[in-house]
């Protein structure tokens, strides 16, 4: 009968749909496995690359250092010492040596002899505020910040008989405690000779030396010579060197192999002995040995990075599982429809003796479900 032919054709179609479903599931599983292997390999490769770089750097440079590129870092203002000529104050000289109260040119040789032989000459020197006035200015503020320093300038040492020296040390100034490491600050120093108050014996000259605030440069000769009616501007650069503990690995050159200087009895040292890591050219850097706490934090950071990589791998795996579930759900929908068709054909086979072939064919084409079609269910019950 035609009904039987239609029913057997539907059975073959359902069987074919089940085979295709199994094939699709196998392909999906294979694709998922490949995707999981590829993603896991990529993540593991990145983790090994990072860990390998860290280990190579650690074992390649046994001494860990922190390299700072030159920039506007904090700069501690130095101490400044000024040595001036013509430092004798008339009032003090007259008080200690009355015979020089009315000083004339013929008494100058005798005064020089006294200066060479007598001691405690600081008692006849000019006061610090009579020679030096200095200010600290901050042009970056919206208001004019001005600090007048007149208390921390003291008479420090001398190079007799010609020079008496005064030193500016800002450490005793409470206002400077908040500004001594602020780069935009400008310091201005005024050196004056008040001719009416002093004894003129030499040409008016001053020399200046910059040094640390906790020390003096009394044993060094100043290389900066200043003359009256001049305006001098200096930029101060702070440098420091740290001896690396053994075992160490620096980029230093063997100066003895370079030989001595052509004109001076000294070794060649201007060899551009600087790090060439970033730009390939000699770069000015500051080297500071890292503390142990910093190294510990670096190890902890690497440990956290390892577990972060594992958590990312776990997250990607969950996402892949979710995608697989969605695809599987969509793939099973045609199979469910095929099963409903199988149920319909089963009932149609039993009803084929009571209906004409045309009715059976119409039922198959409409994919009638006895559970959804009341008239078909009632007919089945009559059987």
* DSSP letters for 224-271: EEE-SS-------------PPPSS-------HHHH-B-SSSSSB---S
What sign does the CA torsion over 245, 246, 247, 253 have?
A: positive
Is the CB of residue 382 less than 8 Å from the CB of residue 353?
no
For residues 89 and 373, the model is more confident at 89
Report the predicted TM-score, pTM, of the whole model to 2 decimal places: 0.44
Are 163 and 81 in contact by the 8 Å Cβ rule? The answer is: no
**Structure-block tokens of residue 355:** 């209906």
What residues have CB less than 8 Å from 135, skipping those under 6 apart?
A: 146, 147, 148, 149, 187, 188
Q: Does residue 213 fall inside a structural domain?
A: yes
pLDDT average, residue stretch 162-174: 81
Contact 250, 36 (CB under 8 A): no
140 and 102 co-located in one domain: yes
Give dist(CA 328, CA 247) in Å, integer. 62
Question: 292: number of CA atoms within 13 Å, CB side?
Answer: 0
> Is 71 among the domain residues?
no
63 within domain boundaries = no
Q: Give CA–CA dist 274/253, Å, rounded.
A: 10
Same domain for 84 and 41, yes or no, is: no
Residues 152 and 24 in one domain: no
Considering the domain architecture, whether residues 84 and 137 belong to the same structural domain is answered as yes
Q: Is the pLDDT of residue 24 over 50?
A: yes
* pLDDT higher than 80, residue 161: no
Query: Which carries the bigger pLDDT value, residue 200 or residue 274?
Result: 200
Task: Mark whether 135 and 179 lie in a shared domain.
Answer: yes
pLDDT at 312: 73
Alpha-carbon gap, residue 120 to 118, rounded angstroms: 7
When divided into structural domains, the chain yields a total of 2
Which of 226, 243, 267 is at the close of a domain? Answer: 226
228 contacts 222 by C-beta, under 8 angstroms: no
Please identify, among 206, 226, 246, the residue that sits at the C-terminal boundary of a domain.
226
Average pLDDT over residues 117-143: 78
**Residue 226 main-chain phi, psi, to 5 deg:** -115, 145
Top mean pLDDT of 6-10, 33-37, 93-97, 176-180 is at 93-97
Q: How confident is the model at residue 75 (pLDDT cuts 50, 70, 90)?
A: low
Mean pLDDT for 182-210 is 82
In a domain, residue 232? The reply is no
- Average pLDDT value for residue range 302-323: 72
**355 pLDDT higher than 60:** no
Claim to verify: residue 95 and residue 195 sit in the same structural domain: yes
Residue 249 has pLDDT above 80, yes or no: no
Q: What is the pLDDT of residue 375?
A: 47
Instruction: From 206, 212, 209, 120, select the one nearest 162 (Cα to Cα).
Output: 206
Segments forming the whole domain that contains residue 197: 79-226
Q: Are 332 and 21 in contact (CB under 8 A)?
A: yes
133 plus 178 within the same structural domain: yes
| Unique residue bearing structure tokens 């001494």 | 63
The percent of residues above 90 in pLDDT, for the chain, comes to: 1
At 280, the pLDDT band (50, 70, 90 cuts) reads very low
Sheet holding 145-149, edge to edge: 145-149, 132-138, 186-191
- Give me the pLDDT at residue 251, please: 55
Q: Which of 207, 226, 245 is the last residue in one of the domains?
A: 226
Residues 204 and 162 in one domain: yes
Residues 53 and 90 both lie in one domain: no
What pLDDT, on the 0 to 100 scale, is given for residue 230?
80
pLDDT of res. 363: 40
pLDDT of residue 128: 87
> What pLDDT score was predicted for residue 180?
55
Q: Are 169 and 215 contacting, i.e. CB atoms less than 8 angstroms apart?
A: no
Q: Which of 87-96, 303-312, 345-354 has the lowest mean pLDDT?
A: 345-354
Phi-psi region of 302 (alpha: psi -120 to 50; beta: other; left: phi over 0): alpha
Q: What is the pLDDT of the chain when averaged over all its residues?
A: 67
Which comes out higher in pLDDT, residue 198 or 245?
198
Distance CA 97, CA 306 (A): 83
């Amino acid at each position: 009968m035609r009904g039987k032919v239609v029913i057997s054709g539907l059975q073959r179609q359902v069987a074919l749909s089940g085979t295709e479903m199994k094939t699709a599931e196998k392909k999906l599983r294979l694709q998922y496995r490949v995707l999981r292997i590829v993603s896991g390999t990529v993540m593991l490769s990145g983790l090994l690359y990072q860990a390998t770089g860290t280990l190579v750097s650690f074992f390649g440079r046994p001494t860990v250092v922190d390299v700072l590129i030159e920039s506007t870092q904090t700069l501690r203002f130095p101490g400044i010492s000024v040595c001036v000529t013509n430092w004798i104050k008339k009032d003090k000289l007259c008080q200690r040596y009355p015979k020089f109260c009315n000083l004339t040119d013929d008494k100058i040789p005798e005064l020089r002899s006294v200066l060479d032989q007598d001691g405690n000459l600081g008692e006849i020197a000019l006061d610090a505020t009579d020679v030096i006035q200095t200010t600290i200015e901050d042009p970056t503020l919206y208001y004019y910040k001005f600090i007048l320093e007149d208390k921390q300038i003291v008479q420090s040492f001398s190079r007799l008989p010609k020079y008496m020296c005064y030193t500016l040390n800002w450490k005793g100034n409470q206002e400077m405690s908040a500004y001594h490491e602020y780069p935009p600050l400008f310091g201005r120093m005024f050196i004056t000779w008040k001719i009416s108050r002093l004894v003129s014996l030499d040409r008016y000259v001053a020399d200046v030396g910059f040094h640390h605030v906790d020390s003096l440069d009394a044993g060094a000769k100043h290389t900066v010579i200043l003359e009256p009616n001049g305006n001098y501007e200096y930029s101060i650069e702070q440098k420091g060197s740290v001896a690396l503990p053994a075992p160490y690995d620096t980029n230093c050159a063997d100066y003895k192999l370079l030989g001595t200087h052509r004109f001076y009895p000294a070794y060649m040292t201007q060899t551009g002995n600087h790090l060439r890591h970033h730009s390939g050219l000699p770069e000015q850097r500051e080297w500071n040995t890292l503390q142990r706490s910093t190294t510990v934090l670096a190890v902890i950071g690497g440990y956290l990075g390892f577990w972060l990589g594992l958590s990312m791998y776990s997250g990607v795996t969950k996402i892949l599982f979710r995608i697989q579930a969605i695809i599987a759900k969509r793939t099973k929908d045609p199979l469910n429809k095929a099963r409903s068709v199988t149920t319909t054909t089963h009932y149609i086979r039993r009803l084929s003796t009571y209906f004409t072939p045309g009715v059976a064919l119409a039922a198959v084409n409409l994919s009638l479900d006895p559970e959804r079609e009341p008239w078909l269910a009632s007919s089945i019950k009559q059987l």
